[in-house]
């Protein structure tokens, strides 16, 4: 029986962990990164369909966003008629279509790459990502990887589970356990902190917010309460920032015949989406930079080269403005957290939270930490990195299962 790996398959990023002589470790890719973008780029070379996965795929977004598939986790086990598809079509560049030949409405979404006349499914895109993670782990650990624990957001249930199992089977994984992401975080905390305790997990990843209250019991954890939102995460923070930058850019270019969000010249129409394509990546970079700095300069060359190759965007963005832009999103996460606690009180009226764990890259935002301290006090536990906690917890849980089986 070989090593068990834990996989945190995220909307924007993924992470793989394992136990080395009882100590949790994170797998590194060939470039020595711990975090892998959950992204696939599809292209053709010599009439053959080729793929890039991870960081290389993400780097192709500005060049060709129509062939850069991201945030696929949001569509696993979902119907084409779901609200998720409608929202994605407003924001994403790749095309979602209904698969009329699908035997189940739960798996009737197709991703259409018109440039190459290619159609693929969310499950197939996830397979490419999981295969990359498997190869990365095998190269790093120098042995075959089969046994795996895969984590899932609390808000995704039966249909998502079926889709993930289908993905794992196609890749060649033996799924020995599926684990809620907040529960995985609890196992990571419990590995370092023995004895009785009750913890809260604020998990704000790329696509979802989950807040759970978990109490240590014999053999694991008991969930007292949990709430979440499948369309509230780092992706949505980026979108809010991008919309702000779009408004600022349009305001600064009124003298260049901007009208109603469009520019006209020689019969060419440039829509908001074409501009968003150029500034989305910079919005994400600015958000990350403002976690450490009070100001950052956003520069984009050739924002709309089809109209004016000399038109650039230069916007100075402050942390105060950023926090104002995403205030409603932050407060919505706080509201979800407080509602989860109210629900937990019905099961355990007198529980006391001993530690608050922050999980997910978006949870690093200083304003979020400030609001959580204002609401919950000085109980934030920061001994586990937000991007690694879920994968580490999954690896620990997998080894518990493996030991029990032995």
pLDDT in tens, the chain (406 residues): 679 999 999 999 999 999 998 899 999 999 999 999 999 999 988 888 899 999 999 999 988 899 999 999 999 988 999 888 998 888 898 999 999 988 877 789 999 998 888 899 999 999 999 999 999 999 999 999 999 999 998 876 788 999 999 999 999 999 999 999 999 999 999 999 999 999 999 999 998 999 999 999 988 899 999 999 988 999 999 999 998 988 888 787 765 555 554 554 444 455 667 677 778 888 899 999 999 999 999 988 877 766 677 778 899 999 999 999 999 999 999 999 999 999 999 989 999 999 999 999 999 999 999 999 999 999 999 899 999 999 999 999 999 988 887 7
234-325: same fold as 197-232+329-381? Answer: no
Please, which residues have CB within 8 angstroms of residue 112's CB and are 6 or more apart in sequence? Answer: 94, 95, 96, 97, 118, 119
Q: Distance between CA atoms of 72 and 103, rounded to whole angstroms?
A: 20
Please give the pLDDT value at position 258.
54
Please give the pLDDT value at position 264.
47
Helices 234-252 and 327-347: crossing angle in degrees, nearest 10, is 160
Please give the pLDDT value at position 280.
85
Please give the pLDDT value at position 111.
95
Is 234-325 in CATH node 3.90.640.10? yes
Query: Which residues pair with residue 266 across a beta bridge?
Result: none
Q: Fold for domain 197-232+329-381?
A: Nucleotidyltransferase; domain 5 (3.30.420)
Domain ranges of the chain: 197-232+329-381, 234-325
Angle CA 232–61–280, to nearest 5: 50
Q: Distance between CA atoms of 40 and 61, rounded to whole angstroms?
A: 10
From start to end of 142-219, where are the E strands?
147-152, 174-180, 198-204, 209-217
State whether residue 397 is helix, strand or coil.
Answer: helix
Please give the pLDDT value at position 90.
84
State whether residue 103 is helix, strand or coil.
Answer: coil
From start to end of 153-281, where are the E strands?
174-180, 198-204, 209-217, 220-229, 258-259, 262-265, 268-270
State whether residue 359 is helix, strand or coil.
Answer: strand
Query: For the chain, how many residues are written?
Result: 406
């Amino acid at each position: 029986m070989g090593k068990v790996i834990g996989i945190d398959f995220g909307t924007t990023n993924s992470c793989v962990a394992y136990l080395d002589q009882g100590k949790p470790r994170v797998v590194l890719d060939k470039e020595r990164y711990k975090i892998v973008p959950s992204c696939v780029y599809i292209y053709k070379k010599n009439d053959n369909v080729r793929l890039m996965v991870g960081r290389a795929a993400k780097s192709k977004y500005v060049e060709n966003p129509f062939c850069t598939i991201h945030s696929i986790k949001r569509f696993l086990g979902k119907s084409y008629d779901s609200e998720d598809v409608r929202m994605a079509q407003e924001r994403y560049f790749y095309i979602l279509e209904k698969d009329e030949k699908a035997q189940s409405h739960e798996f009737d979404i197709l991703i259409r790459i018109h440039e190459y006349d290619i159609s693929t499914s969310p499950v197939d895109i996830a397979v490419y990502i999981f295969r990359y993670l498997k190869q990365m782990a095998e190269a790093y650990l120098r042995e075959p990887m089969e046994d795996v624990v895969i984590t899932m957001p609390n808000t995704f249930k039966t249909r998502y589970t079926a889709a993930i199992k289908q993905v794992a089977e196609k890749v060649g994984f033996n799924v020995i356990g599926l684990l809620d992401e907040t529960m995985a975080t609890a196992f990571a905390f419990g590995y370092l902190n023995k004895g009785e305790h009750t913890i809260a997990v604020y998990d704000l990843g790329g696509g979802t917010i989950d807040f759970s209250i978990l109490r240590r019991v014999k053999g694991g954890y008991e969930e007292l309460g949990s709430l979440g939102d499948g369309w509230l995460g780092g992706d949505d923070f980026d979108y809010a920032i991008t919309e702000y930058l779009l408004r600022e850019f349009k305001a600064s270019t009124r003298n260049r015949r901007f009208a109603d969000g469009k520019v006209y010249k020689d019969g060419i129409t440039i829509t908001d989406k074409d501009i968003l394509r150029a500034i989305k990546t910079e919005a994400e970079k600015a958000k990350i930079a403002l976690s450490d700095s009070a100001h950052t300069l956003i520069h984009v060359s050739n924002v709309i080269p089809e109209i004016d190759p000399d038109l650039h965007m230069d916007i100075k963005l402050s942390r105060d403005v950023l926090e104002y832009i995403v205030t409603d999103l932050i407060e919505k996460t706080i509201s979800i957290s407080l509602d989860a606690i109210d629900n937990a009180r019905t099961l355990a009226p007198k529980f006391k939270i001993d530690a608050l764990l922050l999980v997910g890259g978006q949870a690093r935002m200083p304003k979020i930490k400030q609001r959580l301290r204002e609401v919950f006090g000085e109980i934030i536990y920061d001994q586990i990195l937000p991007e690694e906690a879920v994968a580490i917890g999954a690896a620990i849980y997998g080894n518990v299962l493996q030991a029990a089986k032995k």
